[in-house]
Amino acid sequence: MGVKPAAKEKSRDRVLTDAEIKLFWLACTVEGQPWGHLGKMLLLTGQRLGEVVNMTDGEITDDLWHLTADRTKNGRAHDIALSEAARDVLGAVERVKGQAGYVFTMNGATALQGYHKGRNHIAKRMAEIASHEAGEAMEIPHWTFHDLRRTAATGMARLGIPVRVTEAVLNHVSGTAGGIVGVYQRHDYADEKRNALDAWARFVGDLVDGTPDNVVLFSANS
């Protein structure tokens, strides 16, 4: 499956390979509630761990997830279009009732905690699946939940999605959105963000199904 033995690497450079994305998705499916669902949402949306793990049902309206300014790292309100795959994941989450309405929770009162343990659960599943398919013991190079955000951004670049759109999807402020452009450019890229997230979700789905060649690339002017 193209998975190599573990090697030392800098986490900030870590991007999951296509084979690892498939393993990750399969592992999340096996893991299920709650970490598997959380992992899939992180990969599909490309949003920050703290933002996803603290998601509430009140933030979701149909196929849109709205983050108020106080819920984002950069203090900017942010809308995330939910692809069909993302909506399927949310639909599979077993809700635990609580006043806050957390989607990812064990007790209903607080958002999911113990990220390191949760990551290890998924990583172990990945290694088990890879080993079973290879017929020998396999190790997966270390990854973090934040690496899923980088993987999503890199995947969108591979699909030909413009940097400005990917940054809008990630709610990331860089030189591209800074200076005069940042002050005067108020286009929210809502449609472009939705198209990008839909394309990324299809790409992930095709990887899992083994048909990545069917992905349609964006043009440079998309």
Asked if residue 156 lies in contact with residue 166, where contact means CB atoms within 8 angstroms, the answer is yes
pLDDT at 187: 78
Left if phi > 0, otherwise alpha if psi is -120 to 50, otherwise beta: which for 140?
beta
Q: What is the pLDDT of residues 127-183, one digit of tens each?
A: 999 999 999 999 999 999 999 999 999 999 999 999 999 999 999 976 555 444 454
- Provide the 10 A C-beta neighbour count for residue 71: 17
One-letter-per-residue 3-state SS of 131-198 = HHHHCCCCCCCCCCHHHHHHHHHHHHHHCCCCHHHHHHHHCCCCHHHCHHHHHHCCCCCHHHHHHHHH
Poorest-pLDDT segment among 3-7, 72-76, 82-86? 3-7
pLDDT at 180: 42
Residue 24 CA to its chain's centroid (Å)? 11
Tell me which long-range contacts 36-39 makes (C-beta under 8 A, separation of at least 24): 36/122, 37/89, 37/90, 37/92, 37/93, 37/104, 38/104, 38/112, 38/118, 39/118, 39/122, 39/145, 39/148
The residue-averaged pLDDT of 3-16 equals 61
Q: Which residues contact 91 (CB under 8 A, 6 or more apart)?
A: none
Domain at 15-206, CATH class: mainly alpha
- d(CA 16, CA 154) in angstroms, rounded, equals 9
pLDDT at 175: 56
Domain boundaries, the chain: 15-206
- d(CA 35, CA 95) in angstroms, rounded, equals 13
Q: What are phi and psi of 3, to 5 degrees?
A: -90, 125
- d(CA 177, CA 131) in angstroms, rounded, equals 44
* Tokens found for residue 184: 């005067």
For the chain, give the percent of residues with pLDDT over 90. 81
The residue-averaged pLDDT of 87-114 equals 96
- Provide the 10 A C-beta neighbour count for residue 100: 13
pLDDT at 179: 47
pLDDT at 217 over 50: no
